[in-house]
């Protein structure tokens, strides 16, 4: 009798256990368990909440209706773990946007700085051109005045006789002596600047040639001095200023033997400023070929154009 009752009790207990394993989770158990999974795996990331929203809503709804089983809960836990592995945070899109905005602001500032430097370079070029124009006008006016003075002196000599003519001749000799002294000082100034260039003293070279051109703007050495000034500037790694100074040589002294070299070196200076100036360099090298086709620099300009490619 006892054995029969024990067997019946064991049978009823096994039946209840089997039923509980397939029994749906109640609203309290399902919701609480899902909440724990969410807190453990999602954290506070907006991206993580968005990715898990749909499956969580479905399971929580099932739990609330009382039809989510223990197996459903376990499958949800595995899915959450797959979607959001431990230790990995979803990227924050707002931080990325802020970083990109900062980079754009930095690029805008660089462009503004470059525009300011180019504007300064254009002003310096305009000032140099104006100074050269004034020097040329002074030369022309001096030549006209000299011719008129010679005519007056010839008339006076014929009218007043040989004695006064001798006095005028002596005066001319004295003036000639003064004018002979000036070229010596001019040549010495040029040689000092050239020696600084030969010794690779770029700062002294720039100072000496600048001083020479200010003191002797109409000198026969002016075109050479302007070229060596630009060359020293280039060697001093002042490439933007070198562009302007090589351009001044070509603009003020287009017929100088240094003009083809200066135009080509202007293209080299533009190349030193980086890829943004390659199109400008192409334009300069094409101009070397067009304006000075017989020069050695025209051949070198062709090589540069081949190296740069067709461009825009």
* 312 residues of the chain, pLDDT tens digit each: 555 555 555 556 555 554 444 444 444 444 455 455 545 544 555 555 555 555 555 555 555 545 556 666 667 666 656 655 554 555 677 777 877 777 787 777 777 777 676 666 666 655 655 555 555 555 445 543 444 344 434 443 443 343 344 333 333 333 343 334 447 889 999 999 999 999 999 999 999 999 999 999 999 999 999 999 999 999 999 999 999 999 999 999 999 999 999 999 999 999 999 999 999 999 999 999 999 999 999 999 999 999 988 765
pTM of the model: 0.46
The count of domains in the chain is: 1
Closest by Cα among 73, 61, 66, 62 to 33 = 73
Residue 52 in any domain: the answer is yes
Residue 7 in any domain: the answer is no
Residue 54 in any domain: the answer is yes
Residue 79 in any domain: the answer is yes
Residue 34 in any domain: the answer is yes
| Alpha carbons 229 and 272: distance in angstroms, whole number | 18
Torsion 131-132-134-135 (CA) sign: positive
Q: What are phi and psi of 25, to 5 degrees?
A: -75, 140
Residue 49 in any domain: the answer is yes
Residue 49, number of CB atoms within 10 A of its CB:
14
Tell me which residue range forms the domain holding 42: 21-83
Q: DSSP 3-state assignment of 25? A: strand
| Alpha carbons 81 and 37: distance in angstroms, whole number | 9
Contacts of 34 (CB under 8 A, 6+ apart): 56, 59, 60, 63, 73, 76
**Residue 165: what pLDDT?**
41
Residue 222 in any domain: the answer is no
Residue 38 in any domain: the answer is yes
């Amino acid at each position: 009798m006892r054995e029969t009752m024990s067997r019946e009790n064991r049978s009823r207990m096994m039946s209840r256990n089997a039923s509980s394993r397939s029994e749906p989770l109640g609203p309290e158990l399902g919701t609480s368990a899902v909440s724990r999974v969410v807190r453990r795996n999602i954290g506070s990331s907006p991206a993580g909440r968005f990715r898990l929203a749909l499956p969580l809503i479905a399971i929580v709804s099932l739990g609330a209706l009382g039809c989510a089983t223990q197996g459903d809960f376990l499958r949800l836990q595995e899915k959450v773990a797959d979607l959001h592995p431990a230790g990995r945070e979803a990227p924050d899109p707002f931080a990325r946007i802020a970083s990109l905005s900062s980079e754009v602001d930095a690029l805008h500032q660089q462009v503004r700085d470059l525009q300011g430097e180019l504007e300064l370079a254009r002003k310096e070029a305009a000032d140099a051109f104006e100074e050269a124009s004034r020097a040329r006008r002074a030369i022309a006016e001096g030549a006209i005045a000299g011719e008129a003075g010679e005519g007056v002196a010839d008339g006076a000599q014929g009218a007043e006789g040989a004695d006064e003519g001798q006095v005028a001749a002596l005066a001319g000799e004295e003036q000639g002596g003064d004018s002979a002294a000036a070229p010596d000082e001019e040549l010495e100034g040029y040689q000092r600047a050239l020696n600084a260039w030969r010794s690779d003293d770029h700062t002294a070279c720039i100072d000496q040639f600048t001083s020479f051109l200010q003191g002797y703007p109409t000198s026969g050495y002016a075109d050479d001095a302007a070229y060596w000034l630009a060359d020293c500037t280039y060697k001093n790694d002042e490439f933007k200023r070198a562009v302007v100074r090589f351009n001044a040589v070509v603009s003020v002294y287009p017929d100088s033997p240094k003009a083809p070299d200066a135009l080509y070196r202007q293209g080299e200076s533009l190349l030193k400023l980086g890829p943004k100036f390659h199109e400008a360099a192409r334009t300069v090298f094409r101009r070397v070929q067009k304006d000075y086709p017989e020069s050695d620099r025209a051949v070198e300009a062709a090589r540069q154009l081949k190296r740069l490619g067709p461009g825009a």
